Amino acid sequence: MKTLISCLLALICMSSVQAQIKGVVFGSNNAIKSKIYGAKVKLLGANRGVITSEEGTFEIILPKELPDTLVFSARGFAPDSIVVTKKDRFISLEVVLYSDQLLPEVVASYKKGTHTISRLKTLHVEEIGAGELRKAACCNLSESFETNASVDVNVTDAVSGAKKIQMMGLDGVYTQIQLENIPYLRGLESSYGLNSLPGTWINSMQITKGTGNVVNGYESMAGLINIEVKKPHNMNRVFVNAFGSAMGRAELNFDTGFKLNDKWSSAWFVHGSSHFVEMDFNKDKFRDMPNGTNVALMNRYHYQGKKMEGQFGLNVYQENKVGGQTDEMQNVGPKFYRVNVDSRHADIFAKTGFFMKKPHHSIGIVYNAKYQQTNAAFGDRKFVGEEKRGYINAIYDGILGNTDHKFKVGLSGVYSDIQQQMDSLNDDRVELVPGAFAEYSFVGMRLSSVLGARVDYHNLFGVQFSPRVHLKYTLTEYTDLRFTVGKGWRVPNYMIDNISLLANSKTWIAPDTVTPEISWNIGGSVMQEFKFLKRKGNITIDYYYTMFENQMLVDRDVSSSQIVFNRLDGRSFSNSFQAELAYTVSKTIDLRFAYKYLDVRATYNGKLQQQVLLPKHRGFFNFAYKTRNKRWEFDLTTSVYGSSRLPQVLLEDGTASTENRSEIYPIVNAQITYNYKKWEFYLGGENLGNYRQNNPIINAENPFENTFDATRVWAPIYGINGYLGVRFTLKKLEEK
């Protein structure tokens, strides 16, 4: 009995002893090792610490919540840290700190992928670097997604050359596009703006699937694309790119960055392109691509002070397109079908950040003012539009206790004065949208989260509330799970959003009223890293479901002579599934495979139907090879598009078309690059399989009759396109 009582007392005493770690801290300088008096030993999570004694010893009590990070620091020595867990209770340590004056020679080699998915971010973010953009001609933003499986770029009609992006099977208007966190390609820019930004200006892009952060705005319904342009303080002194294609396109790009003084740096970007050769490969007497010119200029500045950082800039461009019937048809027949698109743009932007005395707290403000003018003519049909837009976003960024808990709060404002007229239809309006938002971020050992909500007041449609939740859980060292759910909304602009539909003879039936489109997006992804034959790879699988509460639908089937715009009466949703495999075969070879399934349906006239001109299935393959001396680069991209539903059209004899499905077709692009000192020479080809859609224009012989239609485009109009280019780079002096 006494033995039992003694054991119980011993157990009670042991349980009352708090877990602790003891140790000695040494300092090493020129191979001389000595104990450090006054070194700091701190637990970051528990926010407690001790000072070493004259003998360099310390004792620190561990918190109940483990693991935690134990940091050792002392003046004149480089700090160090270890992670302590429950297994490390009651242990003794011997810690050696090395002099911060020692600079040991280290040679490190690391190959950074040009296309990656960030494992550190809570949201599912694909990062596309400048190296990925160089794998293709990449002459403008619309061509920057050729080696990417998540974003599709489609030609909207067969006469204007306009392109639009798609994410998760939804039209590009549901994807929020930003230029360095400033709204971009909104309003009148949305239809023709993809050609306005040269690809050589872009430093990187981030593609976020699902609803984005509330800090970025309320319009992210299917995803968010943020574009980062080269920065003055870290770009090359001179970069020149000259390009020419077999289709008669020529382009010249120039940019330069330089320091003005210790605090200011500046950069200039100049772009000029022209399509000067008239092409008609399918012999339908219509130009396969419009002729025209594009001139763009950007000037930006960067300021770096002790208490403030700022970026300021000006961006202008002018584009003129001429398409339609070939010149030989000008004197044939009573009328000549001409397509003219003129776009003029000017905007100024500023981003200022103010550092506060309190660590990890700052204030950032983004400003933007834009003027856009877009005029278009499709035969006898004309569109005239003008927009003035202002934007401001002020963000207060801070932490709660430690850097594991962060928050952002702020105010935003949007002003838009848009005037547009198409034939006899008119849609002028002034929009004022002030908003407020708050976001909380938590980063733990395994779980991280971003919880946010914003409230916006629209002067025409009242209050809109947008909550969003993003979670990431690190299941293992190599496995990440992500989940997202959130609401997005936008005010539709039925004219400019569908301006390509002027390329037919159908009459537009305008909507009775315009109300905000509202969607809910829910989804997630699994990313698994692995090693096979001692080489790294990863598999990413994601699925997203988007449901619309309210949507403006474009009904192209209700009548063979009308296009009807009306509000959703029933269901509208998108199911998007994508699986992607990336594998590094060797130091010189990278492979990527992807498969995407899209089920996008909406209710038209009481019937739930698949969206038109949208393939359900898409396959993707990318091969990249770089020689060991990095002199030669070879890139090959193949995409296979499945069949899609076609809209109903009238044929030349006045009967409805019985062809209601498109064909399955492949697109093959390839490029070879040779690097020599400051020069890069590249040779490439697009659509190497020479696949073309037969008769993309219905009744091309009679463009002014009611059966004419150039909007039923589902595949390339022209065949093989070869191109040749050269790049010259003069790096910064300090990098020589």
Asked whether the predicted pLDDT for residue 15 surpasses 50, the reply is no
- pLDDT of 131: 86
- pLDDT of 238: 96
- pLDDT of 5: 40
Per-residue pLDDT band for 9 (boundaries 50, 70, 90) equals very low
| 3-class SS of residue 215 | helix
- pLDDT of 108: 44
Distance, in Å, from the CA atom of 541 to the CA atom of 528, rounded to the nearest integer, reads: 9
- Write the CA distances from 520 to 168, 175, 220, 394, 531, integer angstroms: 13, 13, 10, 26, 37
- pLDDT tens column, 583-633: 999 999 999 999 999 999 999 989 999 999 999 999 999 999 999 999 999
Between residues 2 and 67, the one the model is more confident about: 67
- pLDDT tens column, 695-720: 899 999 999 988 899 999 999 998 99
Distance, in Å, from the CA atom of 226 to the CA atom of 224, rounded to the nearest integer, reads: 6
Between residues 5 and 558, the one the model is more confident about: 558
- pLDDT of 652: 63
The pTM of the full predicted model, rounded to 2 decimals, is 0.84
Mean pLDDT of 25-44: 82
Distance, in Å, from the CA atom of 298 to the CA atom of 306, rounded to the nearest integer, reads: 27
Listing DSSP states for 257-269 in one string gives: EEESSSSEEEEEE
- pLDDT tens column, 105-162: 444 444 556 788 888 889 999 999 888 888 877 678 888 898 899 999 999 999 998 9
Per-residue pLDDT band for 736 (boundaries 50, 70, 90) equals very low
Asked whether the predicted pLDDT for residue 395 surpasses 70, the reply is yes
Per-residue pLDDT band for 3 (boundaries 50, 70, 90) equals very low
Residues 6+ apart with CB under 8 A from 209: 124, 126, 150, 167, 168, 223, 484, 523, 525, 542, 544
Question: What's the CATH number for 20-98?
Answer: 2.60.40.1120
Distance, in Å, from the CA atom of 373 to the CA atom of 189, rounded to the nearest integer, reads: 9
Percent of the chain scoring above 90 in pLDDT:
69
Asked whether the predicted pLDDT for residue 225 surpasses 60, the reply is yes
Asked whether the predicted pLDDT for residue 32 surpasses 80, the reply is no
- pLDDT of 46: 81
Asked whether the predicted pLDDT for residue 537 surpasses 50, the reply is yes
Averaged pLDDT of the chain: 90
Contact 192, 162 (CB under 8 A): yes
- pLDDT of 111: 53
Distance, in Å, from the CA atom of 414 to the CA atom of 458, rounded to the nearest integer, reads: 9
Mean pLDDT of 48-63: 82
Asked whether the predicted pLDDT for residue 17 surpasses 60, the reply is no
Per-residue pLDDT band for 393 (boundaries 50, 70, 90) equals very high
- pLDDT of 90: 66
Listing DSSP states for 564-582 in one string gives: EEEE--S-EEEEEEEEEEE
- pLDDT of 481: 97
- pLDDT tens column, 230-241: 999 889 999 999
Asked whether the predicted pLDDT for residue 13 surpasses 60, the reply is no
- pLDDT of 6: 44
Residues 6+ apart with CB under 8 A from 513: 567
Return the bridge partners of 151, or none.
167
Percent of the chain scoring above 70 in pLDDT:
93
- pLDDT tens column, 631-648: 999 999 999 999 999 988
Question: What are 41's two structure tokens?
Answer: 């030993």
- Ranges of CATH 2.60.40.1120 domains, the chain: 20-98
Q: What angle do CA 320, 322, 325 make, to 5 degrees?
A: 175
Between residues 668 and 119, the one the model is more confident about: 668
Topology given in CATH for the domain delimited by 115-735: Maltoporin; Chain A (2.40.170)
Residue position matching structure tokens 């239609």: 709
Question: What are 255's two structure tokens?
Answer: 């940019």
At 666, the amino acid letter reads P
Between residues 319 and 88, the one the model is more confident about: 319
Question: What are 257's two structure tokens?
Answer: 């960055």
Residue 380 per-residue DSSP state: T
Distance, in Å, from the CA atom of 82 to the CA atom of 88, rounded to the nearest integer, reads: 11
